[in-house]
Amino acid sequence: MRIVDIRERSVAISRYADPAIPSGGLTTSIVAAVTDVVRDGRPVVGYGFGSIGRFAQGGLIRERFAPRLLAAADGALADTAGTNLDPLRAWAAMMAGEKPGGHGERCVAVGTLDMALWDAAAKIAGLPLHRFLADRLGRPVPERVPLYAGGGYPYPADDLARLRDEMRQLADLGYRRAKIKIGAAGLAQDLRRIEAAAAALGGAGNLAVDAMNAYNGPAALEAAAALAPLGLWWFEDVCDPHDFPTQTAVTAAYPGPVAAGEALFSAAEARLLARHGGLRPDRDILLFDPVHCYGLPGYLRIIDAMTAAGWPRQAFWPHGGHLFTLHVVAALGLGGAEVNPLCFPPFGGIGDGAIVTDGFASLPQLPGIGFESRAGLHRLFRELG
């Protein structure tokens, strides 16, 4: 039971459904992990990518982490029965010799490969990932998962009109709640964006706003004061992720839910947030991205750290916006999943033809993550060879 080949490529991704709109040169890594297990005459291949919002990690994948998987002795990455890959053992092999701290974005490289390993293991088992993972952890699986739609990036022209159209399209697709970006164009424009989006979604209670860590202390408090009366679903990524004093000041002044954690990548950082970020487990939201947090093994450690600090699993709404996080939410009993149906093609969104009803989606049933249900994404992965 071995990984016999790992293929990697960096690809450009866009924040917009229309790739002609400039999007800041964002990239991600895609990988294919080829196993020595054969099904229907073909080797089982696991696919993964670096989630959304960081940059490609090709150097770290090729030079540091993939070689450790490929060098593992026959059976070293297998489960105790020797009949499947064990992604937790594979994770330990990738992290061998790594020092604590200094997280940088090595966590994204590890998480990219980890996604492919879970895809391969679930395929070998003949199970969708949510079922494979839930069975391993002894957890029940729901029939459907609550979702919200991510998007709402500022448009370079006709911003308000295009934002209204985007929110209406999301509502027509079955999403009850959505998230838009603020913090880049001044508070007055942010308030106009919020008004436009909330009207399309049936009220501010269905709208979350993401400041993308844009505010410093005084600006964060000014924004919190302006947003507090609106009754937003949540106020996300207010300030620098390590600026715990500002985070604490905002949660003290802002009565509604605050969301944080997207740009924190380890259990140690999660514990710092719990101790020093002023967040309130009875209402606030945790956004850690399973891929960016060293993959599922790292994410499980974060869940353990936060639940030990009094946080309910329903507070976790992982960042990502794609099929992998949908499986994770279902298997771990978390609050709900972000989906990016109109941005970051072909990675955002769930399966082609999948139906969202009143903000909920049924779970994919293909073995593995189910990237094969996304024609454009599956084609991109198959181009790896």
Q: How far is CA 288 from CA 178, 192, 264, 267, 362, in A?
A: 18, 29, 7, 10, 23
One of 103, 123, 130, 181 is an active-site residue; which one? 181
The verdict on whether 181 is a catalytic residue reads yes
One of 103, 292, 319, 327 is an active-site residue; which one? 319
The verdict on whether 319 is a catalytic residue reads yes
Q: Catalytic residue numbers?
A: 181, 319
